[in-house]
């Protein structure tokens, strides 16, 4: 979800935050270990989301399975809670987002995903210093115009040494779009650039940067980068790109029924799952257009 500096609503919470936070202010809290037997995130999410979104989110869900999440954990930009509900084996302590509507959806449809839901801007979180022992932010930071302020605030609420996991589109994303490349090959580079600008706008991206840019940005905010990897190769991006157009019927279904997928059955989705599975099972790629980062709050 997009964090905006123009948001002028006071923080609101559905639950009392004190039990979720007070038990681990000094660190040393319980470590949440992920299940050893990996869930088939692709099959699960294809039944619930438009295929292009399910494909990307399923890949990202797999990355968190071997990452420790000391409690309490902050989900920065939690949106409707679907990703956390399908990815993590325990409720995360706090889901924070500036928009009330997706938080309501998280409350009603994914109430088990969080102990606390809070509406607030990411640059002004209503939590004390060092309140959290870990944080995640899945495909959120690229949408934030005032990113430096949000990163600095995230560092403030994290304990020294706390891990911060996030993923974002990188510097290859726009240049790899299939329609833009096709226009370039036809000698229509200006039209290709116009298409890339259009796709970036509908994707609401403010940042598609390389690891060096992110490391500089994170260092400035008080984080050290532990590791990172690229994922989602060009072929996968093309599936996602065209899914934005072929997925329009799903949007209509969502508006009419409240569900993205009208017939979440094997006979309807099996062929799609078979096509996506090789890329789902081998997502890391040196030319991947997304990057997953493991950062740590500097102590």
The CATH number of whichever domain residue 6 belongs to comes to 3.40.50.150
- Please give the Cα distance from 208 to 292 (Å, whole number): 13
Structure tokens at 244: 């934005």
- Please give the Cα distance from 89 to 39 (Å, whole number): 10
Residue 202: inside a domain: no
Residue 97: inside a domain: yes
For residue 98, the model assigns a pLDDT of: 95
Q: Give the DSSP per-residue string, 181-213.
A: HHHHHTT-HHHHHHHHHHHHHHTT-S----HHH
Residue 42: inside a domain: no
pTM: 0.85
The closest alpha carbon to 147, from 76, 231, 228, 95, belongs to 76
Q: Contact 164/134 with Cβ under 8 angstroms?
A: yes
For residue 19, the model assigns a pLDDT of: 39
Q: Contact 42/278 with Cβ under 8 angstroms?
A: no
Burial per residue of 34-50, b for 16 or more beta-carbon CB atoms within 10 angstroms, e otherwise: beeeebebbbebbbbbb
Cβ contacts of 85-90, under 8 Å, gap ≥ 24: 85/110, 85/112, 85/113, 86/41, 86/44, 86/45, 86/48, 86/57, 86/61, 87/41, 87/60, 87/61, 87/138, 88/32, 88/34, 88/64, 88/113, 89/32, 89/34, 89/35, 90/32
Residue 195: inside a domain: no
260 DSSP 8-state letter: S
For residue 22, the model assigns a pLDDT of: 39
For residue 253, the model assigns a pLDDT of: 62
Residue 75: inside a domain: yes
Residue 164: inside a domain: yes
Total structural domains within the chain: 1
Count of other CB atoms within 10 angstroms of residue 80: 22
Per-residue pLDDT of the chain (299 residues; tens, 9 = 90+): 333 333 333 445 544 343 334 333 333 333 333 343 468 999 999 998 888 899 999 999 999 999 999 999 999 999 999 999 999 999 999 999 999 999 999 999 888 999 999 999 999 999 999 999 999 999 999 999 999 999 999 999 999 999 999 999 999 999 999 999 999 999 999 999 999 999 999 999 999 999 999 999 999 999 999 999 999 999 999 999 998 887 666 656 656 666 646 566 676 677 889 999 999 999 999 999 999 999 999 98
Domain that holds residue 143: 1-33+68-170+208-232+286-299
Residue 228: inside a domain: yes
Triad 67, 157, 107: Cα angle to 5°:
70
Residue 127: inside a domain: yes
Count of other CB atoms within 10 angstroms of residue 184: 17
């Amino acid at each position: 979800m997009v964090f905006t500096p123009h948001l002028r609503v006071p923080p609101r919470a559905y639950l009392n935050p004190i039990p979720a936070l007070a038990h681990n202010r000094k660190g040393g809290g319980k470590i949440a270990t992920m299940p050893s037997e990996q869930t088939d995130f692709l099959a699960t999410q294809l039944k619930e989301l438009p295929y292009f979104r399910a494909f990307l989110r399923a890949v990202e869900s797999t990355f968190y399975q071997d990452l420790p999440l000391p409690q309490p954990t902050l989900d920065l930009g939690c949106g409707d809670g679907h990703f956390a509900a399908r990815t993590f084996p325990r409720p995360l302590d706090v889901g924070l987002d500036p928009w009330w509507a997706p938080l309501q959806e998280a409350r009603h449809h994914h109430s088990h995903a969080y102990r606390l839901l809070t509406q607030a801007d990411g640059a002004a979180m209503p939590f004390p210093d060092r309140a959290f022992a870990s944080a995640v932010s899945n495909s959120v930071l690229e949408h934030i115009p005032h990113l430096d302020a949000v990163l600095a605030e995230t560092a403030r609420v994290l304990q020294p040494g706390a891990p911060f996991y996030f993923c974002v589109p990188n510097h290859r994303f726009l240049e790899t779009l299939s329609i833009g490349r096709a226009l370039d090959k036809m000698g229509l580079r200006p039209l290709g650039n116009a298409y890339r600008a259009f796709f970036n706008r509908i994707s609401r991206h403010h940042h598609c940067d390389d690891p060096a840019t992110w490391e500089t940005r994170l260092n400035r905010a008080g984080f050290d980068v532990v590791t990172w990897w690229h994922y989602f190769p060009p072929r996968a991006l093309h599936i996602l790109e065209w899914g934005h157009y072929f997925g329009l019927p799903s949007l209509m279904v969502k508006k009419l029924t409240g569900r993205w997928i009208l017939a979440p059955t094997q006979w309807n989705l099996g062929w799609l799952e078979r096509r996506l599975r090789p890329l789902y099972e081998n997502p890391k790629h040196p030319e991947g257009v997304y990057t997953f980062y493991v950062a740590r709050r500097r102590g």
